[in-house]
Amino acid sequence: MIDLMPGLVFGLTDNGLLILGAATGVGIERYFRKGSGMGGALWGSGIGNLCSDFLGSVLDPTMHHMIGGIVLGCLLPLLFIPMVQKFYRD
């Protein structure tokens, strides 16, 4: 087995899925609302980041001990998205 830097698998999984989540959120919002996609990007990237961090920590053996904290740390900022959307309308 190749000895990878600690966190490399996590980082690759994390950013790859985050980018995919943000792009998907923008596409969905534009499809349904015909807006600029800012709200969709916020939700898509927030949920995408939650999924990507979880999956990255599961796949990277050096991160197994942090799975619970990582998931909670990703969930809490999602609570602020409605406030951000209120102040920054499309």
User: What pLDDT is stored for residue 1 in this prediction?
Assistant: 43
User: What pLDDT is stored for residue 77 in this prediction?
Assistant: 87
Reply yes or no on whether the pLDDT at 34 is more than 70: no
User: What pLDDT is stored for residue 2 in this prediction?
Assistant: 53
DSSP category for residue 6: T
The residue type of 79 is L
Give the confidence band of 36 by pLDDT, cuts at 50, 70, 90: low
For the chain, the domains span: 8-87
pLDDT tens-digit series, residues 41-81: 788 888 888 888 888 888 888 888 888 898 898 899 889 88
Q: Measured between alpha carbons, how far is 35 from 5 in angstroms, rounded to an integer?
A: 41
Q: Measured between alpha carbons, how far is 62 from 76 in angstroms, rounded to an integer?
A: 24
Please list the alpha-helical segments (H only) found in 1-90. Answer: 8-33, 38-59, 67-75, 81-87
